[in-house]
Chain A
Amino acid sequence: MQIYLPIAEVSVNAFLLLGLGGIVGILSGMFGVGGGFLMTPLLFFIGIPPAVAVATEANQIVASSFSGVLAHFKRKTVDLRMGTVLLIGGLCGAALGVMVFNYLKAQGQVDLLVKLCYVVFLGVIGGLMFFESLNAIRNVKKGKAPKRKKHNWIHGLPLKMRFRVSGLYISVIPPLIVGVAVGVLAAIMGVGGGFIMVPAMIYLLGMPTKVVVGTSLFQIIFVTAFTTMLHATTNYTVDIVLAVLLLLGGVIGAQIGTRIGVKMKAEQLRILLALMVLIVCGKLALELLLEPAELYSIAAGGH
């Protein structure tokens, strides 16, 4: 069934979009990532104009994250205090990111920098997570207890705060910085930033994996809602019909994904997320390294 999208001005298959939304929704619920880093390139691929894909994706992430976070609230795996601190950083970062984005757009290199951002961040994070979780799985098999880093330089910073749900007593400065960094990237890359947030929370802040997912989703809702409003009012690129199709699949997928996630071991969850991140990274890296079939591209407007 073909559907004409009013803002994107293209006609697409409704069931294809529902299916894509569903698959990305499952991953979103399992790993606590918004799924934007998977969905945005997929939307480019099926012919949605990039500007519309990025803006609409932000709107869809609001829905899947909201659905996911409700499931986590019921299990009390959301650290509201940590989420709020991250959110404050995230909103500042998103505003900053939009300024950087507009500057890069004027230079005509925004595509390249978005792709480079993806490759570098996905590569580093995916690689680190993969080897760490591989080690953790080996240690579990050998019967060794997983060692927890008790103290590092992060614990020496001022402005300490108690995060009861996460079982942490640390300075608010590292979560704020993580929030800002994720906010900047979210605005530039058109993603919720969960794939950066989740590892940062686990490895930099030392939060327990189970709490990380719910808290990440909680923060993502607000950052993506903010970006949606920004895109809707400045670029008019949010396609509500496209969003509805994606989020119908997405919310259902997110519910299924959350249930799968609960049944799996933390190390397994992390190694799967790492593999997925690495695959996307590899695909984007190839796009930059191999000669494209069409060297020319058309953009609207003058430069």
Chain B
Amino acid sequence: MRKLIAVLALSFASLPALAEEVVLGLSSDTVSINTNFDGSEILIFGAVKRDAPIPADPPLEVIVTVAGPSETKTVRRKEKRFGIWINTDAVEIDSAPSFYAVSTSAPLTEALSFTEDVRHQISIPRAIRSVGAPANIADSATFTQALIRIKSKANQYQLNEDTVSVDEETLFRTAIALPAALTEGDYKTRIFLTRGGNVVSQYETSIYVRKVGMERWLFTLSREQSFFYGLLSLAIAVAAGWGASAVFGLFRR
């Protein structure tokens, strides 16, 4: 199912003025989280449609980003006080994606200029928005760096350079690994074509990550019928406790 070529989203008429355009396909535009979900891989592939001959120089590069739903986070730092390590300073990160992956066909600094990164917010630090730290914290940048470090370790932020393969400056493809700890939501997927660091074309679509089956049912129940859900949890607990006692009672006789 994963590798199923389900959707071939075509975008012929979207940006007629551009010389080069993206035609995109996804191996699947929905990721279903069921009980045995253990991460998933999304195959993103496409072609470059152009009216004119391929420009000779500079070479075409492709950047693919996938971003999970954004949320507000608080990053806390520990310091040694009275001999023990406790949380002292805290910085609020206004918006950080729950998942973010950047895949490129060349090192990111070559494929993308600084100004274009600022404009399109492509690199991981640019994808995080932190408006201001409290006045008493001078080094608020280290808090954002810590967020990226921790999320990268959990594979939730990924910078995959040289993982997009481009054939004949026309066909491109890449695979993005989604970790097992995935939250629900619409994962915004963007594809940028760049030449000499400048974005010449861009395309946007969404991958829908959804819980299905029992996962969906339990999750909805816990939010909408929380009292009943609580009672159900307790009923299962009591039944299991009684069941084990009864079974072991039989063994003893």
Which residues of A are interface residues toward B (Cβ below 8 A)? Answer: 1-4, 6-7, 9-11, 47, 59-60, 62-68, 70-71, 74, 108-109, 111-112, 225, 228-229, 231-233, 236, 238, 240-241, 243-244, 247-248, 251-252, 254-255, 287-292, 294-303
B244 pairs with A67, CB closer than 8 A:
yes
B87 pairs with A112, CB closer than 8 A:
yes
From B219, which residue of chain A is reached at the shortest CB distance?
A6
Report B120 CB to chain A, min CB distance, Å. Answer: 25
A240 pairs with B74, CB closer than 8 A:
no
A sample of 19 more A-B contacts (CB under 8 A), given A112-B87, A228-B230, is A2-B36, A3-B36, A4-B35, A6-B211, A6-B222, A47-B181, A60-B237, A70-B241, A111-B87, A225-B234, A229-B231, A229-B234, A232-B227, A238-B230, A240-B222, A241-B35, A244-B240, A294-B150, A297-B78
Is there a chain A Cβ closer than 8 Å to B121's Cβ? Answer: no
CB neighbours (8 Å) of B215 from chain A are 4, 6
> What is the CA–CA distance of A291 and B244 in the complex, to the nearest angstrom?
44
A63 pairs with B38, CB closer than 8 A:
no
Partner of B80 from A10, A59, A68, A291 at Cβ < 8 Å: A291
> What is the CA–CA distance of A289 and B151 in the complex, to the nearest angstrom?
25
> What is the CA–CA distance of A60 and B229 in the complex, to the nearest angstrom?
15
Contact A240 to B73, CB < 8 A, known contacts A63-B238, A251-B241, A255-B245? no
CB neighbours (8 Å) of B241 from chain A are 62-68, 70, 247, 251, 254
Is there a chain A Cβ closer than 8 Å to B10's Cβ? Answer: no
Is there a chain A Cβ closer than 8 Å to B146's Cβ? Answer: yes
25 A-B pairs within 8 Å (CB atoms) are namely A2-B36, A2-B37, A9-B182, A9-B184, A10-B180, A10-B181, A59-B237, A65-B241, A66-B242, A67-B245, A68-B241, A70-B242, A225-B234, A225-B237, A228-B230, A228-B237, A232-B233, A233-B226, A236-B222, A244-B240, A247-B241, A251-B245, A255-B244, A297-B87, A297-B150
In this complex, how many residues of chain B approach chain A with their Cβ under 8 Å: the count is: 62
A240 pairs with B233, CB closer than 8 A:
yes
From B37, which residue of chain A is reached at the shortest CB distance?
A4
CB neighbours (8 Å) of B75 from chain A are 296-299
Contact A251 to B244, CB < 8 A, known contacts A240-B236, A303-B74? yes
CB neighbours (8 Å) of B214 from chain A are 6
When A and B form their complex, which 6 residue pairs have the shortest distance between CB atoms, in order from nearest?
Answer: A66-B241, A232-B230, A11-B180, A251-B244, A296-B146, A63-B237
Is there a chain A Cβ closer than 8 Å to B165's Cβ? Answer: no
Report B69 CB to chain A, min CB distance, Å. Answer: 12
Within 8 A of A (CB), among B70-94: 71-80, 83-87, 90, 92
From A287, which residue of chain B is reached at the shortest CB distance?
B85
Report A77 CB to chain B, min CB distance, Å. Answer: 14
Is there a chain A Cβ closer than 8 Å to B125's Cβ? Answer: no
Which residues of B are interface residues toward A (Cβ below 8 A)? Answer: 33-39, 71-80, 83-87, 90, 92, 143, 146-147, 149-151, 180-184, 211, 214-216, 218-219, 222-223, 226-227, 229-234, 236-238, 240-245, 248-249
Report B200 CB to chain A, min CB distance, Å. Answer: 36
CB neighbours (8 Å) of A294 from chain B are 146, 149-150
A4 pairs with B36, CB closer than 8 A:
yes
> What is the CA–CA distance of A225 and B238 in the complex, to the nearest angstrom?
10
CB neighbours (8 Å) of B92 from chain A are 302-303
Contact A7 to B219, CB < 8 A, known contacts A228-B230, A251-B241, A289-B84? yes
CB neighbours (8 Å) of A244 from chain B are 236, 240
Report B249 CB to chain A, min CB distance, Å. Answer: 8
Among B37, B77, B241, B242, the most chain A Cβ lie within 10 Å of the Cβ of B241
A243 pairs with B237, CB closer than 8 A:
yes
B86 pairs with A300, CB closer than 8 A:
no
> What is the CA–CA distance of A151 and B37 in the complex, to the nearest angstrom?
61
CB neighbours (8 Å) of B249 from chain A are 74
Partner of B243 from A3, A251, A295 at Cβ < 8 Å: A251
Partner of A59 from B79, B146, B223, B234 at Cβ < 8 Å: B234
A2 pairs with B180, CB closer than 8 A:
yes
Among B39, B72, B222, the most chain A Cβ lie within 10 Å of the Cβ of B222
> What is the CA–CA distance of A111 and B233 in the complex, to the nearest angstrom?
26
From A235, which residue of chain B is reached at the shortest CB distance?
B226
B248 pairs with A228, CB closer than 8 A:
no
A301 pairs with B78, CB closer than 8 A:
no
From A299, which residue of chain B is reached at the shortest CB distance?
B74
Partner of B87 from A47, A108, A240 at Cβ < 8 Å: A108
A232 pairs with B237, CB closer than 8 A:
no
Contact A291 to B230, CB < 8 A, known contacts A4-B38, A9-B182? no
CB neighbours (8 Å) of B184 from chain A are 9
CB neighbours (8 Å) of A71 from chain B are 245, 248
CB neighbours (8 Å) of A288 from chain B are 84-85
